[in-house]
Structure 1
């Protein structure tokens, strides 16, 4: 299980990085207004602004990594780790964007971290290992070798 943890954490941090890039991109664009503008054109302007585009691209990379992880471990094990992206984003937002990090948020972050530790300790089956183990103990399989 531990061998897939780097991939899970890569997914978490690319997800968090994408959020930060999207926020920075939207700060650069300023408050949105669709008044007097074709909404389709406005959406294209948003999507193709450099930081938003980079954030969306990073999300694609994050999702590709997550798909790899899901092909290897149980969903109920891998998915809760994504909550750690909130932890990373909250701290980054505090230090870079000067967003509020009050006691309630810190408490919530602590609970998220604690919950993720509990889930990680519970472990997960690796997809395909049960099939290999079953084949190696199956007497019929021994005959066919």
Structure 2
């Protein structure tokens, strides 16, 4: 991938991670799922600003990913998009104070190594 393609990938990944961040913040405001009152849950979803922002971020990430696919093979773009997992765990750690057990850290290391190998050009 050239620098412009890497930039588009980065926009896609960051927008998707921001989408997850805002969706988590909005979900925390909603509280636990109440199967007895589904209409109230749906109303809560469409009136919670964080959830709407999160969905908008996901939309921006999808648009950037589509633009990336116009220039990069799916066999490169798809695995590269898995960086969302890495950044999501980091956001969970930094903002929501979630722990990163050793096995999860090792898994994230494998993802990063795999992305490097996939995008590496000789």
In the superposition, the TM-score normalised over structure 2's length comes to 0.92
Q: For residue 109 of structure 1, what is the aligned residue in structure 2?
A: 108
Residue 45 of structure 1: how far off its partner (Å): 2.0
Mapped partners of 1:75, 1:47: distance in 2: 33
SS of alignment partner, residue 120 of structure 2: helix
User: Gaps spanning 5+ residues in structure 1: where?
Assistant: 124-145
Counterparts of 1:24-39 in structure 2 under 5 Å?
24-35=25-36, 37=37, 39=38
Q: Kindly provide the CA deviation profile for residues 74-124 of structure 1, in whole angstroms up to 9, marking residues without a partner as x.
A: 11111111111111110110111111201001000100000000001048x
Q: Is the 8 A contact 2:23 2:51 kept in 1?
A: yes
Residue 29 of structure 1: how far off its partner (Å): 1.4
Mapped partners of 1:40, 1:71: distance in 2: 40
Q: Is the 8 A contact 2:30 2:44 kept in 1?
A: no
Give runs of ≥4 in structure 1 deviating > 2 Å: 39-42
In the superposition, the TM-score normalised over structure 1's length comes to 0.78
Counterparts of 1:48-59 in structure 2 under 5 Å?
48-59=47-58
| Bigger Rg, which one | 1
User: Gaps spanning 5+ residues in structure 2: where?
Assistant: none
Count of aligned pairs: 121
Q: Kindly provide the CA deviation profile for residues 19-61 of structure 1, in whole angstroms up to 9, marking residues without a partner as x.
A: 11101110111112131x2x24522321331111100011011
Counterparts of 1:111-126 in structure 2 under 5 Å?
111-122=110-121
Q: For residue 18 of structure 1, what is the aligned residue in structure 2?
A: 19
Mapped partners of 1:34, 1:108: distance in 2: 34
Mapped partners of 1:27, 1:101: distance in 2: 20
Which segment is superposed worse, 42-51 or 88-97? 42-51
